[in-house]
A and B are shown apart, each in its own frame.
Chain A
Amino acid sequence: MTPLLEVTDVVIRFPIHNRIAARLTGQPSSIEAVAGVSFTLEAGSTYALVGESGSGKTTLARAITGLVPIESGQVDFAGRTISGLSETALRGVRREIAMIFQDPIGSLSPRLSVRAILAEPFKVHGETADLDGKIARLLDDVGLSPHFAQRYPHQLSGGQARRVSIARALALRPKLVIADEPTAGLDVSIQGEMLNLMRDLQRKFGTTFLMITHNLNVVRHVADRMAVMYLGRIVEEGLTDDIFKAPRHRYTTALLSANLKAEPEAASYVIEAEGETPSLLNRPKGCEFHPRCLFKRDVCRTDMPEEQMPSTGHRFACHNPA
């Protein structure tokens, strides 16, 4: 299979103080929300980025489509470098990459009808022939009846709004769909429906999905490969099945064991992480997970672990792996 998306050493910084204030208080003038992330996404597959809130996964997703500027590194899409392009130059690329945002209702323009919201991608890219037919087909694709075209976002339930945003994302048959917490704020039954819907559409149109989530059940259900992010870095990456079967990084093991399982016996071994996620303002020395790790050694306090890359394609960065 060929890579559709290649992210190489991407760093994203946000300014927090101006330079003078930073000099006076001794604090850094910016934080690294994403600190050198690389991964490759195969065409037609589903890839999941997993991590706690604040791990930089949403920022990374937004940076891929150019909504957030990249400090350094490179993003290649379908054989073209798309990082650093201007808004105008990105327009063609944005036809091929669609995004689904976290808030089902908040990501729909409040004063527009569903019809106008679904017409938006066609109008932006000048494909207005048979607009009504296209909108009717989109609504049908996501399982909404035609009369929803007249509704406004505040008249939709979370699940219906999510279907509309999926329909909008798929309108131009993009090669890549980036879905940021596609199941957030939805009932469990509707979460399942949404995931099945996306899988059906993926089969039908061959779409590649990049899914950002902290819901491990979702990852296990849909993702071919996954990456675990911690404080803006990927700490473990590999096939979803491999990671769920044998997680290596201590953060991944903690994350997986914190995920509640349906079978009560399976919950007998729970490995917990201690304390809170450290602040990006004050990154720990050595392995950044060591203050919370139950398996830390002396070396973890001083040296940042190198990424280990066994031939299996399952990579991780840990001094004392499971």
Chain B
Amino acid sequence: MLREPMGLLGIGLVLLIVLGALFAGLTGYSPSKLAMRDRFLDPSFTHLLGTDHLGRDLFTRVLHGARIALGVAFVATGISFIGGLILGMIAGYGPRWLDSLLLLLFDSLRAFPTVMLALALVTLTGPSLAAVVLVVVLATLPGYARVVRAQTMSLKTTEFVLSARSLGAPSWRILAVHIMPNLIGPLVILVSMDIPVVITIEAGMSFLGLGVRPPTPSWGAILNDGYAFIRESAWPAIAGGLPIIIATLGFTFLGETLRDHLDPRLRQDG
């Protein structure tokens, strides 16, 4: 995997974001403390990306924003992964009526456009990080569950599952020991491909004011501020947009390389 330029680039970009998030406290600035005298400074060695309309160091805010972005991406996809795995296996292996019921649920959820879902939900709960996570879970879980369901249904009729049944193995054991290990690989690929999508959902919701509340730094919020004051200085907008580009590209390259390596059906040399 390290021999492929795209995979290497992906790893590099993702590493950049992760390290940034880890060491966000070391820049010497607070992400939220105001310094009105230093408004709209251009990049310099003291402020690597300049400052915003409240005089806050944009580089520090971007690094703190990485914590929010990565946190939402991993927590939300983690919940979707586990939830999709469990619900998908139940739908695929359980009785017919339960399958129909769950499918109806998955399909109704998938029928909502993500932004509409976010708007409706935030109207009910108010903007918060938990609302962002919930929107991401509702938007991604049905897709995972459907993939897991389809795989479970095809595994259900394989001879190794039949032979476990003929030994008298109970259903939970068949699912946990014989079916689940064969589902995890494809699902990991799917989920890793979805991380950039989740990052853009978080940024998008924060941009629209539906996500984290100010002064918490989020890439979407930084971008929104930059958009409002773009006549004063272009740097806040650039500082908000750049990390989104880096993160989505990095995770996409990484996910695609991972898929090419782990999914033998897509391997070209067969």
Taking Cβ atoms with an 8 Å cutoff, the residues of A that contact B are 62, 65, 67, 87, 90-95, 97-99, 101-103, 106-112, 120-121, 124-125, 165, 168
Contact = CB atoms under 8 A, between A and B. Distances in A.
Interface in B199-220: none
A110 B166 contact: no
B166 A98 contact: yes
Main secondary structure of the interface of B (DSSP, over half): helix
Contacts of A92: 168
Contact of B160 (A94, A97, A106): A106
Contacts of A168: 163, 167
23 contacts: A67-B162, A67-B165, A91-B168, A93-B168, A94-B166, A97-B166, A99-B162, A99-B166, A102-B159, A103-B159, A107-B160, A108-B163, A109-B177, A109-B178, A110-B182, A111-B182, A120-B164, A120-B169, A120-B177, A121-B167, A124-B167, A124-B169, A168-B167
B167 A98 contact: yes
Given A109-B160, A110-B160, A94 B177 contact: no
Contacts of B173: 124
B270 interface: no
B181 interface: yes
A109 B169 CA distance: 13
Main secondary structure of the interface of A (DSSP, over half): mixed
Given A124-B168, A125-B168, A165 B181 contact: no
Nearest to B181: A111
Interface in B174-211: 177-178, 181-182
B44 interface: no
Nearest to B171: A87
A170 B17 CA distance: 56
B123 interface: no
A90 B169 CA distance: 10
A301 to B, nearest CB: 38
Given A87-B171, A93-B168, 16 more contacts: A67-B166, A97-B166, A98-B167, A101-B162, A106-B159, A107-B159, A107-B163, A108-B160, A108-B163, A109-B164, A109-B177, A109-B178, A110-B160, A124-B167, A124-B169, A165-B163
A150 B107 CA distance: 43
A154 to B, nearest CB: 11
Contacts of A108: 160, 163
Contacts of A91: 168, 170
A283 B52 CA distance: 82
Given A101-B159, A103-B159, A107-B160, A94 B167 contact: yes
B158 interface: yes
A106 B163 CA distance: 10
Contacts of B171: 87
A252 to B, nearest CB: 29
- Shortest beta-carbon contacts, A-B, top 3: A94-B168, A111-B181, A107-B159
Contacts of A121: 167
Nearest to A61: B166
A65 B166 contact: yes
A129 B228 CA distance: 71
Interface string B145-162: 000000000000011101
